[in-house]
Amino acid sequence: MNALNKYTSGIAAFALVWLAPLAVALASPPHGEAEHAAGHAADHGAEHAGGIKWLGDGFLGGPGEDGRTGFLIILINFVVLMLVLNKLLFQNLRRSNAEASDVIRLELERATKARAEAEALVLEYETKLSALESEIVEIRAHAVQSAEAEHARILADAAEQAEKVKVAATRAAEREAARFRAELEREIVDQAMQRAEQAIRASFGGTDQRRLVDAWVEEVSSATIGGAN
């Protein structure tokens, strides 16, 4: 608004500075008329000797018989003209300028905001990028650590499995050895018993049978069977 006032004041000053002489010129008679006026002035004294005529001799200070228009009227006309111009042109011009200014300002704000966002985004991406590098390093370290742990675990499992296989094989071998040993012992015993039976059959006689029967009779005679008294 201040800028508009300044703009209006500038125009007014321009009019005063540059249009005043114009008005003076307009108020001065033409060359012929000037000469005539000079003569007339000479006739009528110092009143017609040039300068600003504030009020004309005509209606409401308009041009009179001398054809000169009063400066005040010119000034009023000018002010009216400025008011009309202001009403018809300057206000629209100011409005459109204000709208354009607002649009520009909004665009500028939007651009500023977009720039700030872009800068923030850049900053964020830069931060992420720097964090990504550290994250890559961390992931790599973690992967290495996991791989080492997995390696150790696999080795431990393999060692455990190997130990189990070893124990199982040892037990199986022991069982097999025990089975062979038992089978061998059983075979030895069977053969020994077979030999013993053959030897007994060959040597067993009536005396031996009587001796066994005597022992049986003696044992049974001294025993009690079925609750007998």
Partner 1 sequence: MISGSLAKRYARALIQLAATPTARDKYLQNLGDFHAACKTHDPRDPSGERDLIKVLAAGHHTLANRRAILHAILGRIGADPNVKKFLELVLERGRISGIAQIYLHYRDLVDELAGRIRATVKTATAVDPSTTGRIKKALETATGKQVLLETEVDTELIGGLVAHVGSYTLDRSVRTSLDKLRSNLRG
Return the residues of window 129-188 that contact partner 1 according to CB under 8 A. 185-186
Contacting residue, 1, 46, 129, 223, with partner 1 by CB under 8 A: 223
Q: Which amino acid is at 223?
A: A
Return the residues of window 23-42 that contact partner 1 according to CB under 8 A. none
Contact between 82 and 11 (Cβ < 8 Å): yes
| Closer CB to partner 1, 133 or 208, in the complex | 208
123 binds partner 1 (CB under 8 A): no
Q: Nearest approach, Cβ of 171 to partner 1 (angstroms)? A: 21
119 binds partner 1 (CB under 8 A): no
Contacting residue, 54, 125, 180, 216, with partner 1 by CB under 8 A: 216
| Closer CB to partner 1, 13 or 182, in the complex | 182
220 binds partner 1 (CB under 8 A): yes
224 binds partner 1 (CB under 8 A): yes
Q: Give the binding range for partner 1 (CB under 8 A) out of 37-45, 63-71, 75-83, 191-199.
A: 191-199
The number of residues that bind partner 1 (CB under 8 A) is 28
204 binds partner 1 (CB under 8 A): yes
| Closer CB to partner 1, 101 or 209, in the complex | 209
| Closer CB to partner 1, 168 or 177, in the complex | 177
Between CA 28 and CA 208 the distance in angstroms is: 190
Q: Show the 3-state SS of the chain.
A: CHHHHHHHHHHHHHHHHHHHHHHHHHHCCCHHHHHHHHHHHHHHHHHHCCCCCCCCCCHHHCCCCCCCCCHHHHHHHHHHHHHHHHHHHHHHHHHHHHHHHHHHHHHHHHHHHHHHHHHHHHHHHHHHHHHHHHHHHHHHHHHHHHHHHHHHHHHHHHHHHHHHHHHHHHHHHHHHHHHHHHHHHHHHHHHHHHHHHHHHHHHCCHHHHHHHHHHHHHHHHCCCCCCCC
Which pair of structure tokens corresponds to residue 183? Answer: 């089978």
Which pair of structure tokens corresponds to residue 137? Answer: 């390093």
Residues at the site binding partner 1, with contacts judged by CB under 8 A: 185-186, 189-190, 192-193, 196-197, 200-201, 204, 208-210, 212-213, 215-217, 219-221, 223-226, 228-229
